[in-house]
Amino acid sequence: MVAPLMKRITMYKKELAALKAPARATRSTASKNASATVTLPSRVNHPAQTSGEEAQAWYSTKNLIELREKFDLSAAGMADLVGVRPWSIYRWEAGEKPSVASMIKVASLRKISRTRALRMLEELRNSEA
């Protein structure tokens, strides 16, 4: 009575693994192919691009927290500027490393003033409404 169920479970696990394989391959190629620079969303006038190496050298949890404090933004506001969810900002501030693409976006923001960041955020929110 248990043997047929175990066979079905094994079969389903194999099917699930086969379905997940293309998604895993796509994700790994995307991270490997992260170009030297990443284009930020075009709906807002973003600052000059930063190279991947420069972003990785600059990025640290401390720098991210200082940048958010400089802009006087909530995690949600910072997330809108970077193009991620607020929980990503919380995780990064807790020590988890973002993807190279996200690091580049965050590092690009360091070159702008608080006024410009707030203006960009306002434009983003107006374009979403």
- Domain boundaries defined on the chain: 52-129
24, amino acid identity: R
**CATH number for the segment(s) 52-129:** 1.10.260
Ramachandran area for residue 20 (φ above 0: left; ψ -120 to 50: alpha; else beta): alpha
Tokens 């293309």 belong to 22
Predicted model pTM: 0.59
Which strand (E) or helix (H) includes residue 46? none
Query: 17-63 pLDDT, tens per residue?
Result: 888 887 777 766 655 555 444 444 444 455 566 778 888 888 899 99
